[in-house]
Amino acid sequence: MPEYPLSEKMPDQLRTPSGLPFSAVTLEAVVAGTVTMADLRVTAEALEMQAQVAEQAGRPQLAENLRRAAELVAVPDEEILAIYNALRPGRAGRDKLLALASELETRYRAFRCAALIREAAES
């Protein structure tokens, strides 16, 4: 079971998206350019651990949100913005949304996000 806060209790198990250990994120490394903004991001693994922490604390909806987030880690910013905009009222029809859901599933294995989009499509 993950111990919270992860940054204090289990920093050894944290990695940046490019695989640097948590402890390697120092000011020196930032200045030297070995750490970039791309490193200052959460990973799917850390989000899964946070989902478990939330679940343990009795917050199933927050856990579900964090697991959807874990799926989106790999999805580029522009695609995320496009999906968000498609979900807004009157933007995309049912078929468009269903297609977006399938695409998320096949390209990113984002099953939970896909389910959310399908639900929106049917609503």
Partner 1 sequence: MHASKRAERRAARPINRDSFIDEWFEPGLIISGSPRDPEPSIRIAGGRVVELDGVPEDRFDLLDRFIARHAIDVSMAEAAMALEPATIARMLVDIHVPRSELVRLVSGLTPAKIVRVVDCLNPVEMMMALQKMRARRTPANQAHVTNRREHPALLAADAAEAVERGFAELETTVGVSRYAPLNAIAVLVGSGTGRGAALTQCAVEESLGLKLALRGLTTYAETLSVYGTEQAFRDGDDSPWSKAFLASAYASRGVKVRFTSGSGSEALMGHSEGKSMLYLETRCLMAVKGAGAQGVQNGSISCIALPESLPGGVRGVMAENLIAAMLDLELASGNDAMASHSEIRKTAKLMLQFLPGTDFIFSGYSVMPREDNLFGGGNFDGEDLDDYNVLQRDMLVDGGLRPVSEERVLAVRWRAAQAIQAVFDELGLPPIRDEEVEAAVYAHSSADLPERDVPADLEAATAFLERGGDAVDVIRALARRGFTDIAQNILAVEKLRISGDFLQTSAVVLPGGRVRSAVNDPNDYRGPTTGYQLAEERRAEIARIPQAVDPRTVGAATVGEGPLLIECGPARAGERTDEIVIALGPAFGSALRETLLGLPHRDVLEALIEGVRQEGLRPRIVKIYSTSDCGFIGHQGAQLSGSGIAIGIQSKGTTVIHRCDLQPLDNLELFPQAPNLTLDSYRVIGRNAAKYAKGEPVLPVPVQIDNMARLKYIVKTTLLHRRETEQVVPGRPAEEVRLA
Rounded to whole angstroms, the Cα distance separating 60 from 75 reads 24
Residue burial 88-105, b: 16+ Cβ < 10 Å; e: rest: eeeebeeeebbebbeebb
Q: Judge contact between 71 and 111, C-beta under 8 A.
A: yes
**Nearest distance, CB of residue 106 and partner 1, angstroms:** 18
- Counting contacts by CB under 8 A, is residue 6 touching partner 1? yes
Q: Is 37 in the site for partner 1 (CB under 8 A)?
A: yes
Residue 111 CB-density burial (10 A; 0-12 exposed, 13-18 middle, 19+ buried): middle
| DSSP symbol at 33 | T
Q: How far is the CB of 22 from partner 1 (least distance, A)?
A: 6
93 is an interface residue for partner 1 by CB under 8 A: no
Q: Which of 34, 64, 98, 103 binds partner 1 (CB under 8 A)?
A: 64
Interaction site with partner 1 (CB under 8 A): 4-8, 11, 14-16, 22, 25-27, 30-31, 35-37, 39-43, 46-47, 49-50, 53-54, 57-66, 68-73, 75, 77, 80-81, 83-85, 87-90, 113, 116-117, 119-120, 123
